[in-house]
């Protein structure tokens, strides 16, 4: 039987304020699963037009799937968030791109027709569960020289990227990092961040009870002088510092993904349309270059060029990997299309959750910029991968005009 692939839309996304990892962080005594449960509940609260029993899947990511980030998190969190027991769920691990993969997984199911509405997101409590906790890498990775040992240390791979591209100097990275801090501070002052945050009640043995209403990692007022002399922990006299990298962070994200038909039926808002996505593998030793081939592949799939992209949300795991992307595509370090609200160097990067933060920020920028038709969310991924998702702006005057001519039909698929 013929099957028509359905258009997939991003309805809404939220996140917790991101907290500093460690004993003094605001989420030190808050469970990881409670962070993402708060996000799911907030999505349902914001959208009473969405009956809970219409949510047909919950896909949640975590890089370290143990403790309060384990036990098939998507299913457990959906039950505790108040979704009916008829809603299935599952967990995902693609390291930093966990939430991004959760979105593309459920989007593929929606496009195929097996699901109409889903919730996707991720959580990482790096204070409770440091990246790599309890892992046991196969020794053949090193004994058979399949990869260099530095591939398992993300900061070391960033130093390798500096080696590969000498033009990506520490001075450029520091300048980029200072700009990220400044842009996030400006976005907060203009009220562009808070609308997408979920307030989280916290409890701390020393600090008492509180409410998390704002990101904890940002360092407003950061200057080049402040960070120029910071230590280079991954290499003596290296380039990667705490100032030009994303810090260890706790936080969660979630979003609603739906078919365009289901969104129209229920009156759900359409904030973005999924145009294309791609995941690729690269040399693990320079994993930061991953977004480059991922973006090239996604652009080819969408029939676009880099010049068609009007807004970029690039995950700032390290300044050097963002600069490698910008140099490859001939984009200036301070191009106003890139990370207008700042990025992970300022907000923090709770690994598996960050992909949806990128999407939520792009969706808000689409609303503010109806002249922009296409935007990109992209990120590097540990162990040598990259991910990229291209979105279309529903506020653009040409939105939807070409959908009828680009509908694909596959033969022989049965529901």
Q: Which of 3, 12, 58, 59 is nearest to 263 (CA)?
A: 12
Q: If 0-12 CB within 10 Å is exposed, 13-18 middle and 19+ buried, where does residue 205 land?
A: exposed
278 secondary structure, DSSP code: E
Structure token pair of residue 166: 């000498």
Q: Are 152 and 275 in contact (CB under 8 A)?
A: no
Q: Which of 125, 129, 162, 349 is catalytic?
A: 349
Catalytic residue status for 96: yes
Catalytic residue status for 39: no
Q: What does R_g of the chain's alpha carbons equal in angstroms?
A: 20
Cα diameter, the chain: 65
Q: Which of 96, 129, 162, 173 is catalytic?
A: 96
Q: If 0-12 CB within 10 Å is exposed, 13-18 middle and 19+ buried, where does residue 100 land?
A: buried
Structure token pair of residue 207: 């600090």
Dist CA 41 CA 115 (whole Å) = 20
Catalytic residue status for 349: yes
Structure token pair of residue 126: 């790096």
Please provide the DSSP assignment of 218-234 as one string.
Answer: --TT--HHHHHT---TT
Q: Which residues of 131-167 are buried (b: 16+ CB within 10 A; e: fewer)?
A: beeeeeeeeebeeeeebbebbbebbbbbbbbbeebee
CA 104 vs. chain centroid, Å, equals: 12
Q: Compute CA distances 218 → 345, 352, 366, whole Å.
A: 8, 19, 24
Q: Are strands 58-61 and 117-125 parallel, antiparallel or unpaired?
A: parallel
Q: Which residues of 291-300 are buried (b: 16+ CB within 10 A; e: fewer)?
A: bbbbbbbbbe
Please provide the DSSP assignment of 22-34 as one string.
Answer: STTSTTTTS-HHH
* 265 SS3 class: helix
139 secondary structure, DSSP code: T
Q: Which of 39, 173, 255, 380 is catalytic?
A: 380
Q: Which of 100, 98, 118, 104 is nearest to 11 (CA)?
A: 118
Q: Which residues are part of the catalytic machinery?
A: 96, 349, 380
């Amino acid at each position: 039987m013929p099957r028509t692939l359905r258009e997939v839309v991003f309805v809404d996304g939220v996140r917790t304020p991101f907290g500093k990892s460690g004993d003094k962080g605001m989420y030190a005594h808050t469970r990881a699963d409670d962070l993402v449960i708060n996000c799911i509940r907030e999505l349902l609260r914001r959208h009473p037009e969405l009956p809970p029993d219409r949510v047909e899947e919950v896909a949640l990511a975590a890089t370290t799937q143990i403790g309060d980030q384990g036990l098939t998190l998507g299913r457990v969190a959906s039950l505790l968030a108040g979704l009916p027991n008829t809603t299935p769920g599952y967990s995902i691990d693609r390291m930093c791109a966990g939430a991004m993969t959760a979105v593309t997984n459920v989007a593929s199911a929606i496009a195929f027709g097996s699901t109409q509405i889903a919730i996707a997101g991720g959580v990482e409590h790096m204070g409770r569960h440091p990246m790599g906790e309890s892992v046991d890498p196969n020794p053949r990775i090193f004994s058979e020289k399949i990869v260099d040992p530095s591939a398992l240390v993300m900061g070391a791979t960033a130093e390798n990227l500096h080696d590969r591209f000498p033009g990506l100097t520490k001075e450029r990275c520091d300048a980029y990092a200072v700009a990220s801090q400044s842009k996030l501070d400006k976005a907060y002052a203009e009220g562009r961040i808070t609308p997408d945050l979920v307030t989280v009640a916290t409890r701390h043995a020393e600090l008492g009870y509180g409410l998390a209403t704002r990101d904890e990692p940002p360092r407003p007022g950061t200057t080049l002088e402040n960070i120029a002399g910071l230590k280079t922990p991954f290499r003596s006299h290296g380039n990667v510092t705490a100032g030009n990298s994303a810090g260890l962070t706790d936080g969660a994200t979630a979003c609603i993904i739906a078919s365009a038909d289901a969104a129209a039926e229920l009156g759900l808002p359409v904030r973005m349309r999924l145009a294309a996505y791609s995941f690729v593998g690269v040399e693990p030793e320079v994993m930061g270059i991953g977004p480059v081939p991922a973006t090239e592949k996604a652009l080819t799939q969408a029939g676009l060029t880099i010049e068609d992209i009007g807004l970029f949300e690039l995950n700032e795991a390290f300044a050097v990997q963002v600069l490698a992307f910008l140099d490859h595509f001939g984009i200036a370090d301070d191009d106003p299309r890139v990370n207008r609200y700042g990025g992970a160097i300022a907000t923090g990067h709770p690994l598996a959750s960050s992909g949806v933060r990128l999407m939520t920020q792009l969706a808000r920028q689409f609303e503010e910029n109806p002249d922009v038709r296409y935007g990109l969310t992209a990120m590097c991924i540990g162990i040598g991968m990259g991910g990229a998702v291209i979105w279309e702006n529903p506020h653009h005057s040409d939105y939807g005009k070409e959908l009828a001519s680009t509908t694909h039909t596959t033969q022989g698929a049965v529901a």
